[in-house]
Structure 1
Amino acid sequence: MTEIAHSPTDWVAHHTARYLASDGADGHLFNGYPTLLLTTLGRRSGVRRCTPLIYGRSGEDYLLVASNGGAAAHPAWYLNLLAEPRVGVQVLGDVFTARAVTAEQAAKPALWAEMVRVFPTYASYQRKADREIPVVVLTRSANSSR
Protein backbone atom coordinates (compact mmCIF):
# COMPACT_ATOMS: atom_id res chain seq x y z
CA MET A 1 0.00 0.00 0.00
CA THR A 2 1.27 3.46 -0.88
CA GLU A 3 1.98 5.82 1.99
CA ILE A 4 -0.42 8.72 2.41
CA ALA A 5 0.92 12.27 2.66
CA HIS A 6 -0.69 14.61 5.14
CA SER A 7 -0.95 18.36 4.97
CA PRO A 8 2.16 20.46 5.51
CA THR A 9 -0.07 22.84 7.49
CA ASP A 10 0.48 21.91 11.15
CA TRP A 11 -3.07 22.27 12.46
CA VAL A 12 -4.49 20.28 9.51
CA ALA A 13 -1.88 17.51 9.94
CA HIS A 14 -2.62 17.41 13.68
CA HIS A 15 -6.38 17.17 13.05
CA THR A 16 -5.83 14.33 10.56
CA ALA A 17 -3.52 12.44 12.93
CA ARG A 18 -6.02 12.71 15.82
CA TYR A 19 -8.85 11.54 13.55
CA LEU A 20 -6.88 8.53 12.29
CA ALA A 21 -5.61 7.54 15.74
CA SER A 22 -9.09 7.57 17.29
CA ASP A 23 -11.24 6.37 14.35
CA GLY A 24 -12.73 9.84 14.32
CA ALA A 25 -13.74 9.93 18.00
CA ASP A 26 -11.32 12.87 18.27
CA GLY A 27 -11.64 14.93 15.12
CA HIS A 28 -14.96 13.96 13.55
CA LEU A 29 -16.43 17.15 14.96
CA PHE A 30 -14.11 20.05 14.21
CA ASN A 31 -15.25 23.30 15.81
CA GLY A 32 -18.70 21.71 15.91
CA TYR A 33 -18.81 20.72 12.21
CA PRO A 34 -18.76 17.11 10.98
CA THR A 35 -15.62 16.18 9.09
CA LEU A 36 -14.46 13.20 7.10
CA LEU A 37 -11.07 12.30 5.69
CA LEU A 38 -10.76 12.34 1.90
CA THR A 39 -7.82 10.60 0.24
CA THR A 40 -7.08 11.58 -3.35
CA LEU A 41 -4.31 10.67 -5.78
CA GLY A 42 -2.11 13.63 -6.74
CA ARG A 43 -2.76 14.40 -10.39
CA ARG A 44 0.87 15.37 -11.04
CA SER A 45 2.80 13.78 -8.19
CA GLY A 46 1.00 10.44 -7.96
CA VAL A 47 1.14 10.83 -4.16
CA ARG A 48 -1.93 9.87 -2.14
CA ARG A 49 -3.05 12.83 -0.01
CA CYS A 50 -5.42 12.88 2.93
CA THR A 51 -7.50 15.97 3.69
CA PRO A 52 -10.05 16.54 6.47
CA LEU A 53 -13.19 18.21 5.08
CA ILE A 54 -16.58 19.30 6.37
CA TYR A 55 -19.31 17.11 4.94
CA GLY A 56 -23.06 16.84 4.56
CA ARG A 57 -25.36 14.09 3.40
CA SER A 58 -27.81 13.50 0.59
CA GLY A 59 -29.40 10.12 1.14
CA GLU A 60 -26.56 7.59 1.25
CA ASP A 61 -24.11 9.98 -0.45
CA TYR A 62 -21.66 12.34 1.24
CA LEU A 63 -21.33 15.95 0.10
CA LEU A 64 -18.26 18.19 0.04
CA VAL A 65 -17.78 21.81 -1.01
CA ALA A 66 -14.65 22.75 -2.97
CA SER A 67 -14.59 26.24 -1.49
CA ASN A 68 -10.89 26.76 -0.77
CA GLY A 69 -12.08 29.49 1.60
CA GLY A 70 -13.54 31.44 -1.31
CA ALA A 71 -10.16 31.72 -3.07
CA ALA A 72 -9.99 32.24 -6.82
CA ALA A 73 -8.59 28.75 -7.43
CA HIS A 74 -10.15 25.37 -6.71
CA PRO A 75 -8.49 23.42 -3.88
CA ALA A 76 -5.87 20.86 -4.88
CA TRP A 77 -7.97 17.94 -3.56
CA TYR A 78 -10.75 18.91 -5.99
CA LEU A 79 -8.38 19.10 -8.96
CA ASN A 80 -7.01 15.70 -7.94
CA LEU A 81 -10.42 14.03 -7.89
CA LEU A 82 -11.28 15.52 -11.28
CA ALA A 83 -8.26 13.63 -12.63
CA GLU A 84 -8.99 10.46 -10.61
CA PRO A 85 -12.52 10.20 -9.19
CA ARG A 86 -11.84 7.02 -7.18
CA VAL A 87 -11.16 8.28 -3.67
CA GLY A 88 -10.73 6.95 -0.16
CA VAL A 89 -13.09 8.15 2.55
CA GLN A 90 -13.15 7.78 6.32
CA VAL A 91 -16.16 8.84 8.38
CA LEU A 92 -15.52 8.06 12.03
CA GLY A 93 -14.30 4.42 11.89
CA ASP A 94 -15.98 3.67 8.55
CA VAL A 95 -13.30 3.47 5.84
CA PHE A 96 -14.39 2.93 2.25
CA THR A 97 -13.77 3.80 -1.38
CA ALA A 98 -16.08 6.09 -3.28
CA ARG A 99 -16.56 7.74 -6.63
CA ALA A 100 -16.40 11.54 -6.49
CA VAL A 101 -18.32 13.62 -9.03
CA THR A 102 -19.17 17.28 -9.28
CA ALA A 103 -22.88 17.83 -8.72
CA GLU A 104 -24.83 18.49 -11.90
CA GLN A 105 -26.33 21.97 -12.32
CA ALA A 106 -29.89 20.70 -11.87
CA ALA A 107 -29.06 19.02 -8.55
CA LYS A 108 -26.66 21.64 -7.20
CA PRO A 109 -29.10 24.18 -5.66
CA ALA A 110 -30.57 21.66 -3.20
CA LEU A 111 -27.16 20.19 -2.39
CA TRP A 112 -25.66 23.67 -1.95
CA ALA A 113 -28.51 24.62 0.39
CA GLU A 114 -27.80 21.51 2.49
CA MET A 115 -24.11 22.35 2.74
CA VAL A 116 -24.83 25.98 3.68
CA ARG A 117 -27.13 24.60 6.38
CA VAL A 118 -24.25 22.46 7.68
CA PHE A 119 -21.64 25.25 7.39
CA PRO A 120 -23.20 28.70 6.81
CA THR A 121 -19.82 30.30 6.01
CA TYR A 122 -19.93 28.64 2.56
CA ALA A 123 -22.41 31.35 1.50
CA SER A 124 -19.86 34.12 2.22
CA TYR A 125 -17.14 32.12 0.47
CA GLN A 126 -19.30 32.00 -2.68
CA ARG A 127 -19.95 35.76 -2.52
CA LYS A 128 -16.23 36.51 -2.51
CA ALA A 129 -15.15 33.86 -5.01
CA ASP A 130 -14.64 34.73 -8.68
CA ARG A 131 -15.75 31.21 -9.60
CA GLU A 132 -18.70 28.95 -9.03
CA ILE A 133 -17.83 26.80 -6.03
CA PRO A 134 -18.47 23.12 -6.82
CA VAL A 135 -20.37 20.67 -4.67
CA VAL A 136 -18.90 17.17 -4.79
CA VAL A 137 -20.98 14.03 -4.34
CA LEU A 138 -19.23 10.97 -2.91
CA THR A 139 -20.97 7.68 -3.70
CA ARG A 140 -19.74 4.60 -1.88
CA SER A 141 -18.32 1.99 -4.25
CA ALA A 142 -20.44 -1.16 -4.52
CA ASN A 143 -17.56 -3.40 -3.45
CA SER A 144 -16.60 -1.19 -0.50
CA SER A 145 -17.03 -2.37 3.09
CA ARG A 146 -19.77 -0.93 5.25
Structure 2
Amino acid sequence: MSPAPARTAPGVRLMQKVSSTRTFARVAPHVIPAMDRAVHRLTRGRVILSAQMLPGVILTARGAKSGLPRTTPLACMPEEGSGTWILIGSNFGRDGHPAWTGNLLAHPDAEISWKGRDIAVRARLLQGEERAEAWRAALDFWPPYATYQSRIEREIRLFRLERRP
Protein backbone atom coordinates (compact mmCIF):
# COMPACT_ATOMS: atom_id res chain seq x y z
CA MET A 1 0.00 0.00 0.00
CA SER A 2 1.43 3.37 -0.97
CA PRO A 3 1.59 6.21 1.56
CA ALA A 4 -1.15 8.83 1.55
CA PRO A 5 -0.30 12.16 -0.08
CA ALA A 6 1.29 14.62 2.35
CA ARG A 7 -1.76 16.85 2.35
CA THR A 8 -3.91 14.09 3.92
CA ALA A 9 -1.54 13.40 6.83
CA PRO A 10 -2.99 14.10 10.31
CA GLY A 11 -1.03 17.35 10.71
CA VAL A 12 -2.30 18.58 7.38
CA ARG A 13 -5.90 17.73 8.27
CA LEU A 14 -5.48 19.78 11.45
CA MET A 15 -4.03 22.67 9.44
CA GLN A 16 -6.96 22.46 7.00
CA LYS A 17 -9.38 22.73 9.91
CA VAL A 18 -7.48 25.65 11.47
CA SER A 19 -7.11 27.45 8.14
CA SER A 20 -10.89 27.35 7.66
CA THR A 21 -11.53 29.53 10.72
CA ARG A 22 -12.29 33.24 10.61
CA THR A 23 -9.52 33.88 13.16
CA PHE A 24 -6.99 32.35 10.77
CA ALA A 25 -8.35 34.54 7.95
CA ARG A 26 -7.75 37.64 10.10
CA VAL A 27 -4.26 36.73 11.34
CA ALA A 28 -2.65 34.67 8.57
CA PRO A 29 -2.40 37.39 5.88
CA HIS A 30 -0.23 39.45 8.23
CA VAL A 31 1.98 36.64 9.54
CA ILE A 32 2.47 33.99 6.86
CA PRO A 33 3.70 36.19 3.97
CA ALA A 34 6.19 37.99 6.25
CA MET A 35 7.59 34.68 7.50
CA ASP A 36 7.75 33.29 3.96
CA ARG A 37 9.60 36.34 2.63
CA ALA A 38 12.15 36.20 5.46
CA VAL A 39 12.85 32.47 5.16
CA HIS A 40 12.98 32.68 1.36
CA ARG A 41 15.54 35.51 1.59
CA LEU A 42 17.63 33.74 4.27
CA THR A 43 17.77 30.49 2.29
CA ARG A 44 18.54 32.28 -1.01
CA GLY A 45 15.29 31.12 -2.55
CA ARG A 46 15.51 27.45 -1.59
CA VAL A 47 12.80 27.39 1.10
CA ILE A 48 9.33 28.84 1.53
CA LEU A 49 8.18 28.05 5.05
CA SER A 50 4.47 27.64 4.25
CA ALA A 51 5.41 25.29 1.39
CA GLN A 52 6.03 22.66 4.07
CA MET A 53 2.22 22.38 4.10
CA LEU A 54 1.31 23.37 0.53
CA PRO A 55 3.53 23.91 -2.51
CA GLY A 56 4.43 27.55 -2.88
CA VAL A 57 5.98 30.13 -5.15
CA ILE A 58 7.23 33.64 -4.70
CA LEU A 59 5.42 35.70 -7.34
CA THR A 60 6.99 38.91 -8.63
CA ALA A 61 4.58 40.95 -10.74
CA ARG A 62 4.42 44.61 -11.65
CA GLY A 63 1.95 46.65 -9.62
CA ALA A 64 -1.27 47.39 -11.50
CA LYS A 65 -1.04 51.12 -10.75
CA SER A 66 2.60 51.77 -9.87
CA GLY A 67 4.28 49.42 -12.34
CA LEU A 68 6.81 48.64 -9.61
CA PRO A 69 7.80 45.03 -8.83
CA ARG A 70 5.60 43.47 -6.14
CA THR A 71 6.72 40.25 -4.47
CA THR A 72 4.15 37.95 -2.89
CA PRO A 73 4.58 34.47 -1.40
CA LEU A 74 1.67 32.28 -2.50
CA ALA A 75 0.46 28.73 -2.19
CA CYS A 76 0.13 27.17 -5.60
CA MET A 77 -1.11 24.03 -7.25
CA PRO A 78 1.58 22.71 -9.60
CA GLU A 79 0.12 20.84 -12.56
CA GLU A 80 2.25 17.71 -12.81
CA GLY A 81 3.82 17.06 -16.17
CA SER A 82 2.64 20.30 -17.78
CA GLY A 83 5.10 22.70 -16.17
CA THR A 84 2.28 25.05 -15.21
CA TRP A 85 0.94 26.30 -11.89
CA ILE A 86 -2.51 27.31 -10.67
CA LEU A 87 -2.73 30.30 -8.31
CA ILE A 88 -5.89 30.66 -6.25
CA GLY A 89 -6.86 34.22 -5.24
CA SER A 90 -8.74 33.14 -2.11
CA ASN A 91 -7.46 35.95 0.12
CA PHE A 92 -8.06 33.52 3.00
CA GLY A 93 -11.81 33.90 2.45
CA ARG A 94 -11.78 37.65 3.07
CA ASP A 95 -13.71 40.24 1.10
CA GLY A 96 -11.94 41.76 -1.85
CA HIS A 97 -9.62 40.19 -4.37
CA PRO A 98 -5.99 40.04 -3.25
CA ALA A 99 -3.86 42.80 -4.81
CA TRP A 100 -1.64 40.34 -6.66
CA THR A 101 -4.63 39.24 -8.78
CA GLY A 102 -5.18 42.80 -9.99
CA ASN A 103 -1.48 43.07 -10.73
CA LEU A 104 -1.62 39.95 -12.93
CA LEU A 105 -4.72 41.20 -14.73
CA ALA A 106 -2.92 44.44 -15.57
CA HIS A 107 0.51 42.89 -16.23
CA PRO A 108 0.29 39.14 -16.95
CA ASP A 109 4.03 38.72 -17.57
CA ALA A 110 5.62 37.91 -14.23
CA GLU A 111 8.27 35.80 -12.57
CA ILE A 112 8.09 33.08 -9.95
CA SER A 113 10.66 31.54 -7.69
CA TRP A 114 9.91 27.80 -7.71
CA LYS A 115 12.14 25.43 -5.74
CA GLY A 116 14.97 27.95 -5.82
CA ARG A 117 14.73 28.67 -9.55
CA ASP A 118 13.49 31.91 -11.12
CA ILE A 119 11.05 31.23 -13.95
CA ALA A 120 9.50 33.76 -16.33
CA VAL A 121 5.75 33.11 -16.60
CA ARG A 122 2.62 34.52 -18.18
CA ALA A 123 -0.58 34.48 -16.09
CA ARG A 124 -3.97 33.78 -17.58
CA LEU A 125 -7.25 34.26 -15.70
CA LEU A 126 -9.28 31.06 -15.96
CA GLN A 127 -12.92 31.26 -16.99
CA GLY A 128 -15.79 28.99 -17.93
CA GLU A 129 -15.26 25.24 -18.01
CA GLU A 130 -11.49 25.62 -17.72
CA ARG A 131 -11.99 27.48 -14.44
CA ALA A 132 -14.59 24.95 -13.23
CA GLU A 133 -12.18 22.08 -13.86
CA ALA A 134 -9.32 23.87 -12.08
CA TRP A 135 -11.64 24.77 -9.17
CA ARG A 136 -12.62 21.10 -8.70
CA ALA A 137 -8.93 20.18 -8.66
CA ALA A 138 -8.21 22.99 -6.17
CA LEU A 139 -10.93 21.69 -3.81
CA ASP A 140 -9.45 18.18 -3.98
CA PHE A 141 -6.01 19.69 -3.38
CA TRP A 142 -6.98 21.94 -0.42
CA PRO A 143 -10.61 21.53 0.79
CA PRO A 144 -10.63 24.78 2.87
CA TYR A 145 -10.97 26.72 -0.41
CA ALA A 146 -14.67 25.71 -0.32
CA THR A 147 -15.03 27.37 3.10
CA TYR A 148 -13.28 30.49 1.83
CA GLN A 149 -15.66 30.70 -1.14
CA SER A 150 -18.73 30.18 1.06
CA ARG A 151 -17.85 33.25 3.17
CA ILE A 152 -17.66 35.72 0.32
CA GLU A 153 -19.82 36.92 -2.56
CA ARG A 154 -17.04 37.40 -5.11
CA GLU A 155 -15.87 34.51 -7.25
CA ILE A 156 -12.34 33.50 -6.29
CA ARG A 157 -9.99 34.21 -9.18
CA LEU A 158 -7.89 31.36 -10.55
CA PHE A 159 -4.84 31.91 -12.72
CA ARG A 160 -2.78 29.47 -14.72
CA LEU A 161 0.89 30.37 -14.94
CA GLU A 162 2.68 29.15 -18.04
CA ARG A 163 6.38 29.44 -18.76
CA ARG A 164 7.42 32.20 -21.13
CA PRO A 165 10.06 31.43 -23.78
Q: TM-score, normalised by structure 2?
A: 0.74
More displaced stretch, 55-64 vs 21-30: 21-30
CA RMSD of aligned residues (A): 2.0
Structure 1 residue 104 displacement after superposition: 2.3
> Which whole-Å CA distance do the structure 2 matches of 1:67 and 1:14 have between them?
19
In 1, are the aligned partners of 2:39 and 2:49 still within 8 Å (CA)? Answer: no
In 2, are the aligned partners of 1:98 and 1:141 still within 8 Å (CA)? Answer: yes
Matched, 1:65 2:72: no
Structure 1 residue 15 displacement after superposition: 1.2
Aligned to 2:115: 92
Structure 2 unaligned segments of length 5 or more: list them. Answer: 1-28
Map 1:8-47 → 2, pairs under 5 A:
9=30, 11-27=32-48, 29-30=50-51, 32-47=53-68
Query: Aligned residues, how many?
Result: 135
SS state at 2:100 partner: helix
Q: TM-score, normalised by structure 1?
A: 0.82
Aligned to 2:138: 115
Which amino acid in structure 2 is aligned with residue 14 of structure 1?
Answer: M
Aligned to 1:4: none
Aligned to 1:56: 77
Q: Counting helix residues as a fraction of each chain, which structure ranks higher?
A: 2
Match of 1:102 among 103, 117, 125: 125
Which amino acid in structure 1 is aligned with residue 36 of structure 2?
Answer: H
Q: Counting strand residues as a fraction of each chain, which structure ranks higher?
A: 1
Sequence identity percentage = 30
> Which whole-Å CA distance do the structure 2 matches of 1:21 and 1:63 have between them?
26
